[in-house]
Structure 1
């Protein structure tokens, strides 16, 4: 008999995602095993009065959960892939990457207006510099203001009239069953997704071979390949998920095609490009080097100075 303790953040979306993973694992569970859930508060959940970019640091939504894994309080951890730092603590591994949900962003508008239809000066809520830069690149006449809190909190602020629209990850909307609230799904040509958006990472201890073998049953190799290319691109910039960096990879007959972007929060400049190849790590690194040569690293240094707490 073994009891597997699964760690997660406490937000409704995080719990929903974790239960989705647990449901799939239960179908493959050894007969003498059982699972239970432990909900953990992270630093990113506690600091709600400032934007995440100003908090600084990486792993704001994962560090406390990773510590629980290392302390053996939990055996698995379910994370949104886009929250995962480029490097993991020694002794921990990504035991599974789940089949990717729709990686696009979406717009929820109080008046049912699309992004192109919002009136000049309309307030759009997002705390993501990546989303802010792309909204303003498309519509420099809009006003982007930060909105923090879980999905319910952000939606309530929209409906109370604090914002004309908010931008959220469509994957979270789908997992919450909120599709009817969506005004517009933003295509990648308008809003390039965050690295890893739509995928879930299931983390465990490297020496827990029983759990690792079990996690292989829900692992999706194609999602891992594309996300690896995206994370390689992000890692080359020493980038956290709170900088205005975007990356989205798809598999093709030739291998992997990765689009990447680094942009100023004001909407200009936007430095973007595309790279293809077979090795996901090499594809990500090659695209990063190309954008660095075009000024992306210098731009990020300026942005880091501007968002220092």
Structure 2
């Protein structure tokens, strides 16, 4: 029910109605656990699934025909009756810094306090600025920005896609390079989840799918699943298809960004799952297994 979720649902509604003139799409707002519990970090209240469980239940019960998600919120294991059938063309998946004085990350004062609840963002940023402190701010993009501007905090890290979709692109102080902070699996992408046995909706989803975005997302989600990490482990990944090659970079870190493993691989786009697993194995065999064990 957040403003961003409504923006995404409305975007898909318009895309469907543009292609199917005889169809009228109704939006049904479903409040999820993640929308309701705003005083705890995601890693404490159940991770990514808190934004999708109630929506998936409505899909299984045929209350709705199509679920629209931020792909980064969708767990790698989805109910067997459902299918993440389409990925809309992905927008820039990188992170942004918004700071009070429009200061870049490297120029923020020593011991600055930054708003982000994401362990992935914290760990990667600590590896380049170990003096930073972090606090969690939950809520919609606009709620978080309002809280930030009313606070004494020096900066806030958010996904570029959400900031721009909500019309706050002019507030961005810096787009963080992938070398500083790799995004979450699926960041910047909207996904459509449907019932596997619904042929009519499946055809609609196929017509909205963006092939190279789907290939990249499959590789990223397979990588994440093989590492076995959700919100509780700092994992970043970014895949893209370039010149008919699938390139994927991944990072795994301890909580403080002291032990950080970055690797990349490439391969044929027709095998995204294989490429994702290959990268995960490379990281696990380079000390990643030890880091994952520390979280168990």
TM-score range, shorter chain: over 0.9
Are 1:280 and 2:272 counterparts? Answer: yes
Contact 2:42 2:231 in 1 (8 A): no
State the partner residue of 1:194.
184
1:1-309, aligned counterparts within 5 Å? 10-31=1-22, 33-253=23-243, 255-278=245-268, 279-302=271-294, 304-305=295-296
Secondary structure, counterpart of 1:39 in structure 2: coil
Superposition TM-score, scaled by structure 2 size: 0.96
| Structure 1 consecutive aligned stretches of length 4 or more whose deviation exceeds 3 Å | none
Name the CA shift for 1:179/1:242 in 2 (closer, same or farther; >3 Å).
farther
Contact 2:126 2:132 in 1 (8 A): yes
The CA RMSD over aligned residues, in Å, is 1.3
Contact 1:128 1:242 in 2 (8 A): no
Q: Name whichever structure is richer in strand by fraction.
A: 1
- Deviations along 1:160-218, one digit per CA (max 9) or x if unpaired, are 12421100000111211211011111111111111111111101111111111112221
CA distance in 2, matches of 1:65, 1:124: 32
Superposition TM-score, scaled by structure 1 size: 0.92
Contact 2:119 2:231 in 1 (8 A): no
Structure 2 unaligned residues grouped into runs of 5+: none
Structure 1 unaligned residues grouped into runs of 5+: 1-9
CA distance in 1, matches of 2:158, 2:104: 14
- Deviations along 1:269-289, one digit per CA (max 9) or x if unpaired, are 111100111121111101111
Shift of 1:43: 1.4
Q: How many matched pairs?
A: 294
Secondary structure, counterpart of 1:103 in structure 2: coil
